[in-house]
Structure 1
């Protein structure tokens, strides 16, 4: 069954970003925790912002609000995907990976440059690790969005 492509895109994007958030929690705060937040290599300023300075990040103080806003952003990501879907590869997985690459180039690169590197003094090797983690996170998001959109909302 096919549904309205914009509604499908919004729902797919929200689900996609939900899985991206789960993936980022595992990568950044489980797999990479010791290197990114516990090592002497890391900037003291970044560690203080994440764990000590008030107000603490919203994802720590109000996870419900953080997730609600993330889902709205995900819906927008889904809408952008629907808008550019015809410009992406026809294959669902390839289109999801291509969209993940677009998200990485337009979102992760700027964020990592602007906040961790520019504002918090994160060292380049740790920035590189985070950018690698972001490749995985946005690839998950892109593939989930593409899979759901192609299955339920794309052209027949």
Structure 2
């Protein structure tokens, strides 16, 4: 039997939960360990390992990034992205093997690629970010992508076994 897609409401719910997970993952990595806040250095803003240009853009040149001065619109945008990821999941998951252990890594890889693309285009290309903080940032993106994928997949798949059983019963009843 084919894998079934989650319904629209479950997809939206999984995206909202995924958005909260994404924001939480970014906070736990970039903010707590990366030193993204005002006056913080952390793993990403150490002048000994990070480009002066990137530090200046994130810490010194006014206006500072929205994520520091007015984070609500950016955090809301992250939730919207997560809802989009949930709809992507809804569209491709039936082609993936069943089970969270197969689906979470696939969705996490897709989400991680967004972060990796951002790092390549912004910090590496524009600000000449060196390899060490790049690897730290890519690791942070991997953590956030994985917990987001786990949240989206778990909510989207909640009750999937009972939906499959109901579909099998309906198919079986039609053949009898």
Which TM-score band (shorter chain)? 0.7 to 0.9
Q: Work out whether residues 28 and 130 of structure 1, in 8 Å CA contact, stay in contact via their aligned partners in 2.
A: yes
The partner residue of 2:62 within 54, 57, 61 is 54
Q: Work out whether residues 19 and 82 of structure 2, in 8 Å CA contact, stay in contact via their aligned partners in 1.
A: yes
Q: Work out whether residues 43 and 136 of structure 2, in 8 Å CA contact, stay in contact via their aligned partners in 1.
A: no
Unaligned runs of 5+ in 2: 1-5, 36-41, 165-176
Change (3 A) 1:152 1:78: farther
Q: Work out whether residues 12 and 75 of structure 1, in 8 Å CA contact, stay in contact via their aligned partners in 2.
A: yes
Following superposition, the deviation at residue 35 of structure 1 comes to 2.1
Residue of structure 2 in register with 1:37 after alignment? 45
After superposing the two structures, state which structure 1 stretch, 82-91 or 32-41, moved more.
32-41
Q: Distance in 1 between matches of 2:64 and 2:159?
A: 39
Following superposition, the deviation at residue 67 of structure 1 comes to 2.0
Residue of structure 1 in register with 2:76 after alignment? 68
After TM superposition, the score normalised by the length of structure 2 is 0.78
Matched residue count: 152
Following superposition, the deviation at residue 39 of structure 1 comes to 3.7
**Secondary structure class of the residue paired with 2:50:** coil
Unaligned runs of 5+ in 1: none
Q: Work out whether residues 10 and 78 of structure 1, in 8 Å CA contact, stay in contact via their aligned partners in 2.
A: yes
Q: Distance in 2 between matches of 1:65 and 1:56?
A: 14
The higher radius of gyration belongs to: 2
The partner residue of 2:19 within 17, 20, 29 is 17
Q: Work out whether residues 8 and 152 of structure 1, in 8 Å CA contact, stay in contact via their aligned partners in 2.
A: no
Q: What per-residue deviation string (whole Å, max 9, x for no partner) do you get for residues 122-146 of structure 1?
A: 1012111211221111011001000
Larger helix proportion of the pair: 1
After TM superposition, the score normalised by the length of structure 1 is 0.87
**Secondary structure class of the residue paired with 1:55:** coil
Following superposition, the deviation at residue 29 of structure 1 comes to 2.2
Residue of structure 2 in register with 1:119 after alignment? 126
Following superposition, the deviation at residue 153 of structure 1 comes to 7.1
Moved over 3 A (4+): 152-156
Q: Distance in 1 between matches of 2:24 and 2:61?
A: 24
